[in-house]
């Protein structure tokens, strides 16, 4: 059973796995980068990190 590209749902090409093409790989990468850049890093400090650690401990 073959997997499909998570971006456009076309059958993937091994060369570009897990995507169907370099273009879709770039689209996914752009999503990651845009998401990272959209985070206001000035507001993420030690306090935010501690909150996540506390949740993990629970």
Interaction site with Zn ion (CB under 5 A): 5, 7-8, 10, 20, 24
End-to-end CA distance of the chain: 39
Closest listed residue to residue 12, CA positions, set 21, 52, 53: 21
Q: How far is the CB of 16 from Zn ion (least distance, A)?
A: 8
Residue closer to Zn ion by CB (options 8, 29) is 8
The 3-state DSSP class for residue 11 equals strand
Closest CB 57 distance from Zn ion, rounded Å: 39
Which one, 10 or 48, has the nearer CB to Zn ion?
Answer: 10
């Amino acid at each position: 059973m073959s997997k499909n590209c998570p971006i456009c749902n076309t059958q993937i090409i091994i060369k570009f796995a897990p995507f169907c093409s370099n273009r879709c790989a770039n689209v996914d990468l752009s999503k990651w980068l845009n998401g990272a850049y959209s985070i206001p890093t000035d507001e993420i400090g030690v306090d935010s990190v501690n909150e996540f650690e506390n949740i993990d401990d629970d």
